[in-house]
A and B are shown apart, each in its own frame.
Chain A
Amino acid sequence: MEILEFSLFVLFPAALAIFALGASYRLFRYVFLYRKGVYIHRDSSFAFKIKSLVLSFLRPTSFNLRTKPMEFVFGFMLMHAIGLIPLIFLLAQHIAYIEAIIPFYGLLWPLAIPISPITGALTVTSPVGVKQVETLWGPLTIVLNGDFLAIFAILGATYKSFAKIYERFKGHKNVRIGDLLIWPLLLAVLITGWLAAHHTPSGDIVWYRTMLGLHIAFAALFVAVWPFTKFFHFLWGYWYGKLHEWYDMAIKRGV
């Protein structure tokens, strides 16, 4: 079995199963460890609650922009906001693949991002065959395409990798062994995906299928380790954390 088929039909389903088990374990721990508190909440208006909910999410972003602009540009903007998130969830090829596993994911087709600024054609090896991406993004497609987004994400992830190594070198405790493992993994997913999309290093179909197979294999590894690494913040830690902070500070204390 060649690596593409192995990745598609063995590795990825296995990774999804590991992901489901791991994610369930992570989430159920929160349910079982929940302890109801006895508190006297400060009264506040509905408008205050909504405003503080929005601010809970915005405050760290504006603070980060003021105090650590490099981190903001590379770590937040390039890597997260205009890199990984649209790339993973809206790239047309990804929508096609995820839709094959989760049918309702196809609802995102109108938001699909083409792989290049020049052509909206999906590759012939995609599970849906040849298809033209009818993007909603109009002129924004010049930036909102797989090529550019991958470059943004690679720049962001590279910056973070070097920043982590530098911080480790300086003896900062906030760099953990996991960082040194997951950043290369993320870069491997991004770089193999970009190479596959560009039929690089060779236009030969065997090379292409190998590179795509590697991309999916790394992506499967990413999915498998997702619940057990800091990657899980995207699905849980970030949302739980900010909502808890909002409850604690705004609802309970009226701040």
Chain B
Amino acid sequence: MPVSIPNLDSVTLHYFENCMGCAACAPSCPYYYVDKHYAPVEKAEFLREILRKKYTISGRLAGRLVGAKLPKSEEDFKKLMVFAYRCANCGRCYTTCPYGIDSGAMVNRLRQVLSSAGYAPTLLRQLSAMEKEGGYVAAARKIWEDFLNTAQAPVEKKSARVLLMVSLGDILISRQAVLDAVTVLKSVGEDFTLPGRPLGVFPPVGYTLGDLEAARAVVAEIVKYVESLSPQIVVILNGCYTYSYFRFEATNILRRKFGFKLLHISELLAEYLKSGRLKLKKLGIKVVLQDSCQLARRGGVVEEPRRVLEACADVLDVKHSGRDVECLGGGAGIGILSRQISDELVKALGATVASSDWERQFLEKLERDYEKATAKRIKILKDVDADVVVALCPFALEALKRGGVEAEHFVSFVAKALW
């Protein structure tokens, strides 16, 4: 099957040719503790083999002898699928690499290659197509209407100061947190609005499977809708890739700046707290904050959630926090493929999880590896004498609960402390 190989720009060229193979990055990856061959350097090497074949003279002439190889057989692609979906793109390997190589970005490009050849998890492919074509809106109309009835908040109000960007995924797996965010916004007297429909499923799902065209279409459509409402600030609840993608990549993808400012809910609450609009009472609870990789390491949102939590709880220290946070392994679509969340998506949208026996086995193995990948971090969190772990990322929250940790969404925790 023909594959589409990513173009080189100066950054990709650097990631491609300047890896020394020192494997210093290896211990930074949660999947390395599942299998040593899941080290970031090794996963990225699969893409390097493909790039060598296309972009180097030695690769074209000497092929495998110099580590240049294009996937050809079904077995080749299936093997690549296993490695490509053992990366949460958390970015820790990027900052621990002595050469500043973002192996997560390389693995995402590997997913692009796979996707171009028709290899991607069925569920992600379906969600991406639904997101791109808008099919999820009609499919989830009842869920959305039920949410709006419960929320009792302004909907599609033009020129509100704040638009709460709610996706279908937020409603399905963090419904209470979204409702709590609405409660907080009402309590501070914010001029805000909800969208008239869910904005994407987990936008952009296309990013998780390497379908850049779908990701671009979804981002363009959501930005167009948001701009039609003219808010000053768009607030994202999802602390995973949706935040970092819209905050730092979307402008480059659409090649223009937007007419609104984009914040994560924790940034907005920190602003309220600083200005005195948000008044919180001490709950007398010891908490530990599980930072989100995409917010803290790839997004620079480190202090804001801490400041808010410190106003209502005793925040305990835990090692590897802030920008050095250890990932729970559910980013970049892996959390979406986990049984708990995929079951919700199947129920809400009628999506299919697996289309073949091989894919069923692939997902079962991924589920087991995902659980093992979370174990190291969960042990560290359990060792801290906290009453509850507060998480900002919905996939982290699911992983923590699955691991038997008392965990709560950041917004829900803060909502409890409202005066």
Cβ–Cβ < 8 Å partners of B98 in chain A: 60-61, 64, 238, 241-242
Q: Tell me if B297 and A174 are in contact (CB < 8 A).
A: no
Q: Is A39 an interface residue (CB 8 A)?
A: yes
Q: Which of A28-36, A104-112, A195-203, A208-216 contacts B (4 or more CB under 8 A)?
A: A28-36
Interface flag for B379 (CB, 8 Å): no
- In the bound complex, do residue A253 and residue B256 qualify as a contact, i.e. CB atoms below 8 Å apart? no
Chain B residue numbers with a CB within 8 Å of A40 are 247-248, 251, 257
Assembled-state Cα–Cα distance A179/B45 (Å): 14
Give every chain B residue within 8 A of A230 (Cβ-Cβ).
20-21
Question: Is the CB–CB distance between B37 and A171 below 8 Å?
Answer: yes
**Which of A12-20, A81-89, A244-252 forms part of the interface with chain B?**
A244-252
Residue of B nearest to A36 (CB): B252
B28 pairs with A71, CB closer than 8 A: no
B 50-83 to A, binary, CB cutoff 8 A, 1 in contact else 0: 0000000000000001110000000000000000
B378 within 8 A of A: no
A67–B97 contact, CB under 8 A? Answer: no
For the complex, would chain A's binding face be called helix, strand, loop or mixed by DSSP majority?
helix
Instruction: Determine whether the beta carbon of B13 is less than 8 Å from that of A30.
Output: yes
- The residue of chain B having its C-beta at the shortest distance from the C-beta of A72 within the complex is B24
Whether the Cβ atoms of A176 and B24 lie closer than 8 Å is no
Are A172 and B23 also in contact (CB < 8 A) when A177-B67, A241-B101 are? Answer: yes
Min Cβ gap A35→B in Å is 5
Does B8 contact A67, Cβ atoms closer than 8 Å? no
Determine whether the beta carbon of B22 is less than 8 Å from that of A75.
Answer: yes
Q: How far is the CB of A76 from chain B (nearest CB, A)?
A: 8
Flag whether A254 is at the interface (Cβ < 8 A). Answer: yes
A1 in the interface (beta carbon within 8 A): no
B248: nearest chain-A partner, CB-CB? A253
The closest CB in chain B to the CB of A42 belongs to: B300
Q: What's the Cα separation between A177 and B252 when bound, in Å?
A: 37
Tell whether B377 is near chain A: CB-to-CB under 8 Å. no
Q: Assuming the A-B contacts A63-B96, A176-B67, A249-B95, are A29 and B255 also in contact, with contact meaning beta carbons closer than 8 angstroms in the complex?
A: no
Inside 8 A of A170's CB, which chain B residues have their CB?
36
CB interface residues, B 240-274, toward A, < 8 Å: 247-248, 251-252, 254-257
Tell me if A179 and B21 are in contact (CB < 8 A). yes
Q: Which residue of A lies closest to B45 (CB)?
A: A173
Q: Which residue of A lies closest to B58 (CB)?
A: A228
Q: Which of A38, A67, A243 contacts B27 (CB 8 A)?
A: A67
- Which residues on the A side are within 8 Å of B255 (C-beta)? 38
A59, B91: Cα distance in complex, Å: 14
> Which residues of chain B come closer than 8 Å to A38, judged between CB atoms?
251-252, 254-257
The 4 closest A-B pairs by CB, nearest first: A245-B100, A237-B18, A241-B100, A254-B300
Q: List 21 A-B contacts (CB under 8 A).
A: A30-B10, A30-B14, A38-B251, A38-B254, A60-B96, A67-B28, A167-B23, A172-B39, A174-B23, A178-B66, A230-B21, A233-B20, A237-B14, A240-B100, A241-B14, A241-B98, A241-B100, A248-B102, A255-B297, A255-B298, A255-B323
Q: Which residues of B contact A (CB under 8 A)?
A: 8-11, 13-14, 17-24, 27-28, 36-37, 39, 41-42, 45-46, 65-67, 94-102, 247-248, 251-252, 254-257, 296-300, 302, 323
Known pairs A174-B23, A245-B102; list 9 more (Cβ under 8 Å). A40-B248, A171-B37, A174-B41, A175-B21, A177-B65, A249-B298, A252-B248, A255-B299, A255-B300
